[in-house]
Chain A
Amino acid sequence: MPEPILELRDVKTHFPVTHGFIHRRLVGTVRAVDGVTLSIARGEVLGLVGESGCGKSTLARTILQLVPVTGGAIILEGRNLTSGTAAEIQEVRRDLQMVFQDPYASLNPRMTVFDTLAEPLRVHRVAAPADIPGRVARLMELVGLAPRYMRKYPHEFSGGQRQRIAIARALALEPKVIIADEPVSALDVSIQAQILNLLAQLGRRMNLSLIFIAHDLSVVKHISDRVAVMYLGKIVELGPAVEVIERPLHPYTRALVSAIPNANPDTERTRQRIVLPGDPPSPMNPPAGCSFHPRCPFALEKCRAAVPPLLPADHQRTVACVRLGEI
């Protein structure tokens, strides 16, 4: 494997839960991210999937230092972000950028496209004031927007165009890693395809590493090189995208894959669907042992005993399930 650009070592993000207003007391801890180890190579697209509440967005925010990390190390090109000073982190933020889900909420409605795209260039002093209009125009062209719309406001654009603006903003500082948190979930299918094409094409052209967070597995399979599946703050399966989604090994991944409706009436009506009982448990009070065992169709007594480690299942894939060889 090529040299990793970003490495996570046993990253944990816990949130305290307090009760009472004057006599504040700690009543519990939400273990949103609970020991994630990952690495991503230069130019690689890593898909991150899981249900709402599994910690995938918190992991993204933790990497970007938007929420404080509780434990572990986040290493970008040899620099540990968890122990840096504020000035160092500010420096690193140039290399790490984010695209959010909702292009209606993530753009400032009172800033023109020009202001939105010029702001990062000014803050990080990467362009002389005279060069900024030219840089903004190039950014707009890069994402397929005509520079003549530079003075328009977000409400004058459609959802797909706004997401292009958000992508241009993320690209403004020529980052090394972009984290895209559900960037196409709010868009219609035909627009979704345009944005996916754009991300894939920009990633290739600029040799960007992309962490692509989504709940739509068919989208993730299409764009990613590798996929990590999260459940309740932990990675349960990690491997090449096609392998993980076409031949899932962990029982949770199997259920997730089987739940995707298939746009083919013949296979859709005959295939076996695994319908999981109940909802994911609360990350404040996760079940003992494997946190998936209460919903797992294959669970045995031993699944309750200890948290299963992420172990190699074949030469490319790691899976956290003690019954791996048996099911």
Chain B
Amino acid sequence: MPLLTVTDLRTHFHTRNGVYRAVDGVSFTIERGETLGIVGESGSGKSVTGYSLMGLVPTPPGRIEGGTAVFDGVDLLHCTPAEARAIRGKRVAMIFQDPMTSLNPYLRIADQLIEPLLIHQDIGRAEALRRGLEMLVAVGINDAARRMHLYPHEFSGGMRQRVMIAMALITRPELLIADEPTTALDVTVQAQILELIQKLQRELGMAVIFITHDLGVISGLCDRVQVMYAGRIVETADTRTLFKAPRHPYTRALQRSIPSLQQKGAELYTIQGMPPDLSKPLPGCPFAARCEFALPKCVETPVHLREEVPGHSHACLRAQLGEI
């Protein structure tokens, strides 16, 4: 049985300008110990998917309109607040893009680091501090015994991100949702953080949902990838297949836009146009307006994620019919 099964998740934002369908029918599963990548551009709904699972969608204007997210037998979207609290922050943890805004500037590192332990486990402050120190050492903070009594502003960006990872992992969660955890960091620090996440994942055997826009990061880290566009999953496959044989035109276009995969100085491939307005109805494929293969039927016919070969699904009508 998968660790987490998400079925038809729909999270909408009710704004003055209409209902914005940020996540519009997303279904996926993740096994214990697996690393699942979610890629997509800004506004594709990848972060809102993570927030929905963690109960972090600002309500109002946001609302989870439907769907289930069953984690080890408990539906996170419909359980009691007490059941949810026993899972969120303990067995499922999340780390965010910007470590400065996700740490409390008024609290010493030690105090915010051990908070999840004091809440979720029946241990004293001294024991929690000892475990906190152990975790800071594990994420590679030098001189941790002294530094844990400092404030976040006294840490560099990379060190703050390490603190946040330590905070998320201190309860030894079974699932970590990492939302662009390295996007704000320099490449050399990014390399350190990615290495750290992989090492801790091996040691703790946890599953990771890695949300990013960087296909390069995905290729080294993830077992399986799903590509999101306009609030929907348009393609999902194991990493190698997705990079070697993408089927959906959006995945192909995304791959072709990366400068490192193109010839130097040549005109870069670009996707024409812009993502659709998610408050307007989209009966057919959301990518149709920008797709070089689109036919009139793509705009009108509803299209669903369908498995082409075991483990590889996509939501392209023409590819499903074998036309492209």
Q: State the A residues within 8 Å of B (CB).
A: 51-52, 158-160, 188-190, 192-194, 196-197, 200, 215-219, 221-222, 241-242, 255-256, 258-266, 268-269, 273, 275-276, 278-279
B121 to A: closest C-beta gap in Å: 32
Complex CA distance for A194 and B270, rounded to whole angstroms? 6
Complex CA distance for A167 and B124, rounded to whole angstroms? 58
Chain A residues whose CB sits within 8 angstroms of the CB of B258 once the complex forms:
189, 218, 263
Chain A residues whose CB sits within 8 angstroms of the CB of B190 once the complex forms:
259, 261
Complex CA distance for A279 and B257, rounded to whole angstroms? 32
Decide if A273 touches B191 in the complex (CB within 8 Å): yes
Chain A residues whose CB sits within 8 angstroms of the CB of B216 once the complex forms:
260-263, 268
Chain A residues whose CB sits within 8 angstroms of the CB of B188 once the complex forms:
51, 255-256, 259, 275-276
Q: State the B residues within 8 Å of A (CB).
A: 41-42, 142, 156-159, 186-192, 194-195, 213-220, 239-240, 243, 253-255, 257-262, 264-265, 267-271, 274
Complex CA distance for A175 and B240, rounded to whole angstroms? 46
A260-B216, A262-B216, A275-B195 known; A190 and B262 CB under 8 Å? Answer: no
Chain A residues whose CB sits within 8 angstroms of the CB of B262 once the complex forms:
222
Chain A residues whose CB sits within 8 angstroms of the CB of B214 once the complex forms:
261
Decide if B264 touches A242 in the complex (CB within 8 Å): yes
Among candidates B186, B257, B261, residue contacting A52 with C-beta atoms closer than 8 Å: B186
Decide if B187 touches A197 in the complex (CB within 8 Å): no
Complex CA distance for A39 and B142, rounded to whole angstroms? 41
Decide if B41 touches A189 in the complex (CB within 8 Å): yes
Among candidates B142, B194, B270, residue contacting A197 with C-beta atoms closer than 8 Å: B270
Chain A residues whose CB sits within 8 angstroms of the CB of B158 once the complex forms:
279
A193-B268, A260-B187, A262-B219 known; A218 and B259 CB under 8 Å? Answer: yes
Decide if B240 touches A265 in the complex (CB within 8 Å): yes
Complex CA distance for A219 and B214, rounded to whole angstroms? 13
**Main SS of the interface on chain A?**
helix
Chain B residues whose CB sits within 8 angstroms of the CB of A194 once the complex forms:
268, 270
Among candidates A188, A256, A262, residue contacting B213 with C-beta atoms closer than 8 Å: A188
Chain B residues whose CB sits within 8 angstroms of the CB of A51 once the complex forms:
186-189
Decide if A262 touches B260 in the complex (CB within 8 Å): yes
Complex CA distance for A221 and B220, rounded to whole angstroms? 21
Complex CA distance for A160 and B42, rounded to whole angstroms? 12
B128 to A: closest C-beta gap in Å: 27
Chain A residues whose CB sits within 8 angstroms of the CB of B253 once the complex forms:
190
21 sample A-B contacts, Cβ–Cβ < 8 Å, listed by A number: A160-B274, A188-B42, A189-B254, A189-B257, A190-B253, A190-B270, A193-B268, A200-B265, A222-B265, A241-B264, A255-B188, A259-B188, A263-B219, A263-B258, A263-B260, A265-B240, A273-B191, A275-B192, A275-B195, A276-B191, A279-B158
Decide if B41 touches A268 in the complex (CB within 8 Å): no
Decide if B220 touches A269 in the complex (CB within 8 Å): yes
Among candidates B142, B192, B257, residue contacting A192 with C-beta atoms closer than 8 Å: B257
Q: Residue of B at shortest CB range from A217?
A: B187
A284 to B: closest C-beta gap in Å: 14
